[in-house]
Amino acid sequence: MEENEYRTAGWLAIAQAALFPAAFVIGIIESVVAGEFLGVRRPFIGPSDLLMIINTAIGVYTLLMFRRLLREQYDYHDVDLLIIISVWWSIFFQTIGLGLKSALMLFWPINSFLVTVAYIVLFASAFVTIGIIDILIGAKLLKVKEVFSQGIRNLAYIMIASGICEVTVLLAPLAIAMVPVWSVVLALVFLRNRQEVEFV
């Protein structure tokens, strides 16, 4: 049963790697079609938002499963709190993002300057916060490299690189581009879990 759960988490992580960029592409298409062909200028909740909700749900599940894998397979608990914070950050950021878009829909038109400032503050604070968390998780995992599999160490390197990009804010697009890579590496950690543990 446990092996099947990790395998499910692995396939969901692969799905997340595909859903994340797909949501961005669909979001751009939505904006172009709505603005150029339908004349809709106000914000709206569309398919890309629904995909991001699904993506967030998968992300929360895979993070919790990764925490479980560290606890059960390696008896490692040092990043428990950081992973829980990351989970709640994901839920909070998704909720705030949808809430802000819903508010714009209800009270449109709104001063464009205020909207721009609100989005800049939201995304900048979100990136800096999660960047620090990613760096801390990655650094803690690398400290015990003699215990963890190569897959987990690779994941730690990606988290640190992504975290550095997130903290700078200006390099945040690079961090976003790393999300599918991170998801695939996490998927491999889950799918290869049994073999890797045998060699530890």
Question: Which string of DSSP letters, residue by residue, matches the chain?
Answer: -HHHHHHHHHHHHHHHHHHHHHHHHHHHHHHHIIIIIS---S----HHHHHHHHHHHHHHHHHHHHHHHHHHHH---TTHHHHHHHHHHHHHHHHHHHHHHHHHHHH-S--HHHHHHHHHHHHHHHHHHHHHHHHHHHHHHHTTTTTS-HHHHHHHHHHHHHHHHHHHSTTHHHHHHHHHHHHHHHHHHHHTHHHHHHH-
pLDDT tens track for 129-141: 999 999 999 999 9
* pLDDT at residue 103 tops 70: yes
101-105, 162-166, 188-192: which range is least confident on average?
Answer: 101-105
Structure tokens at 32: 């172009």
* pLDDT at residue 95 tops 80: yes
pTM for the full predicted model: 0.86
Extents of the domains making up the chain: 2-199
Determine the average pLDDT of the residues in 148-175. Answer: 93
Highest mean pLDDT among 34-43, 80-89, 184-193: 80-89
Percent of the chain scoring above 70 in pLDDT: 90
Confidence (pLDDT) at 51: 92
